[in-house]
A and B are shown apart, each in its own frame.
Chain A
């Protein structure tokens, strides 16, 4: 047990640590020299915005970029004819529990048959990054999920709502390391809140277009379907 870790019943609130939690070693600047063609091109074009890069798990190239320039770098990776990463396979987050949350982009070029992983390190105090949903539609839901589970705000996202947890979920962002496995509330409280949810509450597409707040069907003046509840 590391000094400073809460013990006893306090730890129940924070939840057990995921592992024996050794101090995080920062990935060395290119442990193995990468011969990935995109890395050299990225460094040549963006210079300091490419913070470091390395080869992970044998042959996978990871590039850490400046989170402030993620949109610029990723747009170039998508559109430049030498790169053409047209498929955004995955957008996800990683919380190490050490004050940073990484946003991870997995990209693949169907033209050149190349994969690249781009990561942006964000401090927990300022979890904000530009959305890339305008470049890849697949990033739309994936970024919503990262927002839902990690609390990363994506600037310019067309539909920034929670996606997996209920809209009015009050316990926080579950995949953060400071979130206990069983949630912050007691089971009884969780059940009470769950049953108090309004199953007829949902967004109308028109409201989404205007980016308005969540509306209830009856209140928004649309025809109220009689059986609009959970049981279809």
Chain B
């Protein structure tokens, strides 16, 4: 398989110490000892409705001056009980719930869910479906990272990348819309295939997007990567070691920024990811800057994967031929008795699952996205549908990361973790 990792070309500012502050301040020719004050610890509350918390997250911080002594995150302000609701839905009816969970990269969630159900039921999807899903997932990785990029740049005071990123996102919105009919809530997948095959001209539109996107990405890269303000706000901020990162369960770019090359696409490959030629970017310091670099590089790698996937997109049907799983075509339904019966049974009863449980992990845009499904013999609904939420686990590290940093750094640390509250609270 060959785990190829990538070194970043950008050098680090040697003047920045471990804490992210200049080691020797050029503005301090006089070494004045700071006078001792009797300080009182202060408690401030950020959120739940705050533009910098990227959702309805509440952070209660204990401060000494401006230094964060400890942070207690409070979540659950968006608890929509997806998992309970899923127990009352048939297998295909759950698909529309999944994209409301992570509305930043909905297609990855659609795909991950049906992949888990298919794994449980032992369904092998068609080759075309596999490639189409890879395209969907990689496209939404870009989609999710772009939103992260835009909103995080705002948090450090750069507004332009937000506009650039949203311009590109609008193009992906259009692609979503052509593919599924919706801009965000795509619900594109079905157990055993997709809702519909790719529309005519969609691949051309995607290629057009892929041709133009790297240029915009380069512009954003130019605005941020070597920007001294951005570097000052991110380098050395919120660093975490490899061992700690694994112990805290970090996954995705947050883990890879520390230097661990764990990527589900490489380590537990699905959908022939081992045959695609792409690199897994890893960082070194595990700080906000490395997380930023990892995500930027991941978008470029996703473009590479997308190009390969388009080149190998095979023809043929997109849904499996089993009439107990896939709906028959509308024409067959109207003219063929057997098809109509299958249609009726599928709609009224749903697909029947074997007894067992299944945990299936894919590499989401935030990290390892696992879907754990428990079914009983012949059940048309899950006994338990559990989402292993990457942001939930990633966010739990924020108390450790923010300790000892300033309040303004806490905002950057929170942003750099790339959280989405819909999935944290579920």
Interface residues of A (CB under 8 A from B): 16, 18-22, 24-25, 27, 56-58, 60, 62, 86-90, 92, 94-97, 104, 106, 110, 113, 115, 117, 136-138, 140-142, 145, 149, 162-166, 174-175, 179, 181, 202-206, 208, 217, 222-223, 225, 228-232
Expressed in whole angstroms, the minimum distance between the Cβ of B346 and any Cβ of chain A is 16
B357 touches A86 (CB 8 A): no
B249 and A228 contact, CB distance less than 8 A:
no
Chain B CB within 10 A, most for which of A27, A57, A62, A138? A57
Which residue on chain A has the smallest CB distance to residue B267?
A: A113
The smallest beta-carbon distance between A156 and chain B, in angstroms, is 17
CB-defined contacts of A136 to chain B, threshold 8 Å: 247, 249
Min CB–CB distance B149 → chain A (angstroms): 24
A232 near B42: Cβ-Cβ < 8 Å: no
A230 touches B370 (CB 8 A): no
Q: When chains A and B are docked, how far (Å) is the Cα of A16 from the Cα of B84?
A: 12
> Which of B74-82, B277-285, B305-313 forms contacts with chain A?
B74-82
Tell whether, in the assembled complex, residue A232 and residue B356 are in contact, meaning their CB atoms are under 8 Å apart. Answer: no
Chain A residue at minimum C-beta to C-beta distance from B262: A110
Chain B residues with CB under 8 Å of A110's CB are 246, 260, 262, 267
The answer on a CB contact under 8 Å between A230 and B49 is: yes
Complex: how many Å from CA A16 to CA B381?
12
Q: Which of B25-33, B95-103, B384-392 is the interface stretch? A: B384-392
Q: A222 touching B72 by the CB < 8 A rule?
A: no
Main secondary structure of the interface of A (DSSP, over half): loop
Q: B83 near A175 (CB under 8 angstroms)?
A: yes
- A86, A142, A163, A202: the one within 8 Å of B246 (CB): A86
In whole angstroms, how far apart are the Cα atoms of A141 and B397 in the complex?
10
Q: What chain A residues lie within 8 Å of B75 (beta carbons)?
A: 163-164
A138 touches B248 (CB 8 A): yes
- Nearest-neighbour CB distance to chain B for A191, whole angstroms, equals 16
Interface size class of B (residues with CB under 8 A): 35 or more
- The contact of B247 among A89, A113, A137, A165, by CB within 8 Å, is A137
Contacts of A22 in B (CB 8 A): 376-379
Q: Given that A87-B246, A104-B372, A230-B48 are contacting pairs, would A18 and B62 also be in contact in the complex, using a CB cutoff of 8 Å? A: no
CB <8 Å contact, B44 and A16: no
Complex contacts, B377 vs chain A, CB 8 Å: 22, 25
Task: Please tell me if the beta carbons of B76 and A163 are within 8 angstroms of each other in the complex.
Answer: yes
Subset of 14 A-B contacts with CB under 8 Å = A18-B87, A18-B381, A24-B376, A58-B119, A89-B249, A90-B386, A94-B386, A110-B246, A141-B393, A163-B76, A166-B76, A174-B84, A181-B85, A232-B46
Q: Which of A58, A86, A89, A179 has the most CB of B within 10 A?
A: A89
Provide the residues of chain B in CB contact with A86, threshold 8 Å.
246-247
B210 located at the interface, meaning its Cβ lies under 8 Å from any Cβ of chain A in the complex: no
Interface 1/0 per residue, B264-281 and A, CB below 8 Å: 000110000000000000
Of B74, B357, B358, which contacts A202 at CB under 8 A?
Answer: B74
Q: Is the beta-carbon distance between A96 and B383 smaller than 8 angstroms?
A: yes
Which residues of chain A are near B386, meaning CB under 8 Å?
Answer: 90, 92, 94, 104
A204 touches B247 (CB 8 A): no
Contact A115 B268 (CB under 8 A): yes
- Are B62 and A19 touching (Cβ within 8 A)? no
